A and B are shown apart, each in its own frame.
Chain A
Amino acid sequence: MLTITEYLTHEHRECDELYAKVEELLKKGQWEDAKRVFAEFKTETLKHFQREEDVLFPEFEARTGIVMGPTQVMRMEHDQARELIERMEKALEEKKEKEFFAIGDTYMILIQQHNLKEENILYPMCDQHLDPSEMIQKMGNI
Chain B
Amino acid sequence: MRGLSIHQAPPFQIIALYFSTACVFWFLSSLLELFLFFKKELNLPLLVHSHVVGFALMTMLGALFQMLPVVAGAVISEPLKKAIPLYLALLLSSLLFLDGFLLKKERFLLFGATLLMLSIISAVSLMLYHLLPKKSFVPTVRGFKFSLFFLLVATFSGYLFLTLKEPLFFKIHYPFMLWGWIGGLIASVSFQVIELFYTTPPYPRFFAWYFHILVSFFLIFSLLGESFLYRLPLSILYIIYALTTVYLLLKSKRSVLEYTPKFWLLGMGLLLLASIFFVFGEFLAFLVSFVLFSSSIILGMMQRIIPFLVWFHLSGFGLKNAPLMFEIIPPSRQAITFYSFLILCLSMPFALINTNFLIVSIILHLFTASVLLFNVLEGIGIYLKYVKRGL
Chain A residues engaging chain B, CB cutoff 8 angstroms: 5, 16-17, 19-21, 23-24, 26-27, 64, 66, 68-70, 72-74, 76, 80, 101-103, 105-106, 108-110, 112-113, 115-117, 119-122, 124-125
Contacts and interface: CB of A to CB of B under 8 A. Distances in A.
B3 A121 contact: yes
B197 to A, nearest CB: 5
Nearest to A21: B253
Contacts of B105: none
A102 B327 contact: yes
Contacts of B304: 109
A115 B70 CA distance: 10
B316 A69 contact: no
B6 A72 contact: yes
Given A80-B316, A110-B312, A20 B254 contact: yes
Nearest to A65: B1
Contact of B137 (A66, A76, A120): A120
A10 to B, nearest CB: 12
Given A21-B253, A73-B9, A109-B304, A80 B192 contact: no
B32 interface: no
B98 interface: no
Given A70-B5, A124-B137, 10 more contacts: A19-B199, A20-B254, A23-B254, A73-B6, A102-B325, A105-B257, A109-B308, A110-B311, A112-B197, A122-B4
A68 to B, nearest CB: 7
A26 B311 CA distance: 25
B1 A17 contact: no
A109 B328 CA distance: 14
Contacts of B325: 102, 105-106, 109
B346 interface: no
Contact of B199 (A16, A113, A122): A16
A69 B197 contact: no
Contacts of A73: 4-6, 9
A27 B255 contact: yes
Contacts of A125: 1, 3
